[in-house]
Structure 1
Amino acid sequence: MRMLILGGSWFLGRAVAEQARDDGWTVATFRRGRTGEQPPGTVLITGDRNNLTDLDRAAAGPWDAVVDTSGYIPANVLDVARALEPVADRYVFVSTVSVYRGWPVEPLDEDSPILDTPHDAGPDYGYDGDPRPSRYGYGKAGCERAVRWIFGPGRTVILRPGVILGPREYVGRTAWWLRRLARGGTVLAPGDPDRRIQPIDVRDTARFAIQAAVPGGPTGTFNLVGDGHETFGDLLAAAARATRSAARLVWAADEVLLRHRVRHWTELPLWRPYPGTWAVGSRRARLAGLTTRSITDTMRDTWDWMTTGATPVQHGRAAELGITPEREAQILAAIDGKDQPVMASH
């Protein structure tokens, strides 16, 4: 079987390429070739998805499946889908839970309403709100509609991952917590340690994408998240085990962190106080074969990858992450003086 990946050298795209290759697919990636490394055993088709002439090379086909990990602008995805529709059996588009109108405020599933974006919208459509919506979410919602517009529901697979973690993660959420635990000392831990979370490992996301790419495989829309049985406490405990850290965790309640104006999602990565953040239903994907590994495996394997000296593709979002040691110490001192943490643990 033949697979074309739009992207393929970064985080999820590379995981899809490597897993598909290992599963016996003939894999080609269509990308500019300016960043990242070409996965061994795959073919590079050099081109810019924004250039219609370049798309002719990708459309040489035929392809049993297209997996699009790099589509963000509806008008562009529309052009790409038009070019590939005659030579591809199905189109697997990687979207996001940010397309839902209610995320991250309320629980949702695949039938929850999404943002209303035209299938041919440009890059400036939508706006950023707090906590919702986001221009990113608006763009992905329109991209979904663009794929369905061209390929139809019977040949379209929409994947809506939540937070993806694991080796080669370029945003750096996992890496920040691992490095912080490795540094030791007293660590400011966010919210309730028993708060359930749903990150998904990049390798589990990739495997489901490949299952969905197989001719005759499932079509439709699937939320890809962890099973929700693990907690933020489990995540930091896994980071401590992976790094052999003796750090002491001090858990500060949401209201304490908000009072100190800690930026959620960035200063303390993965912490967000909204109740819908980790309340994403994935029953449809589970029934279609989604399986997810433990956060222990994800943190261990990410640390192992980091300690080999490997570095992810450089991305601007990584610079936004992490609380400074000075600010962390100030908040910990304030907690010790008057604010009450949820708990302290080793």
Structure 2
Amino acid sequence: PAPSTPPPKSAPLEHTAPRTSGGYKVGLLLPLSGEHKALGKALSQAAELSLFEKNENVTLLMADTRGTKDGAKAAARQVLSEGADIVLGPVFSDAVTAAAAEATKERVPVLAFSNNKAVAKNGVYVLGFDPAQQLERVVRFAATKGLTHITAYVPNNADGALVKGVLTALQRDGLLKGANTVSYDPKSPGTLSYKATPGTEALLITEGGQALSRVISALMYHDEHVGKYQFLGSGQWDNPATKAEETLNGAWFAAPNPGARVGFEKTFLETYGYTPPRLATLSYDAVTLVVTLLKHFPKKPFTKEVLERAHGFSGIDGAFRLRENGTTERHLSILEVTPHVFQVIDPAPRTFER
């Protein structure tokens, strides 16, 4: 037979019935071998846990991407040949691009676990947490508290460029009165030696984990007044290690409400014997979305109109909705760092309904 021709970007997802007999089937593409096999295993278990809890008879077609572009292409072909009507995963950008190319030929939508908007497009949705959304949310919140002069310490790479872009846009819109960025070598954040710009009211640091600790140490060493500023952070702060940073006590960042995933983490631990990685909720929520659509739209669950419905969906990580360009819009809470918990000080709206 002649090879399928990829539809143009504006083409709708046209399947309104299962591609094969036996009901709708869900492809799940994960790195089950290779460097990231532990992550792949956790995401597969989260998906299975979601199916088990929903008690739905959904056929899950799992395939190993091996964490590579070629592996993702082969895995996508495998689940599509078995009749997948929607594809969940892969995780990494190159793998998403490769798998999406195969799925698009068959007009099958993809819900990827990446947060790279560059691989998103019509019919290929990235469910990962968008750092730009997180930064804009926390900066807007700070502005409501009168903090409109910000100095941001950012790595000299694509992540830093993203931060600069967000701050520039917010300053152009009049939300910020001053936005200064100081770049440093991401390989050695401890070499940072710049004080905040005069007039600064808040310091923004996007790093997480050990890199965050090194930036904080450098700031404290070079600026004896660093404690007077309000610290702002990114979603990378959604990590238990952040609470151990005494200097960040009272700092703010935007993320899904961590309290909402306590039950999931407890059940996962009891079922599989270990605490799930942070990204496991993406897999769980993706399967929940699929089950929801099959229940409420049994005749056409995965059409463009249904997937991009204005009211969106609700999951462990809160309300979210899929956009036409493949990105995901999320409602985020503002969290305050305390020694023991991340305290919600400005909750996210529960739905997109008005």
- The TM-score with structure 2 as length reference comes to 0.36
- The TM-score with structure 1 as length reference comes to 0.37
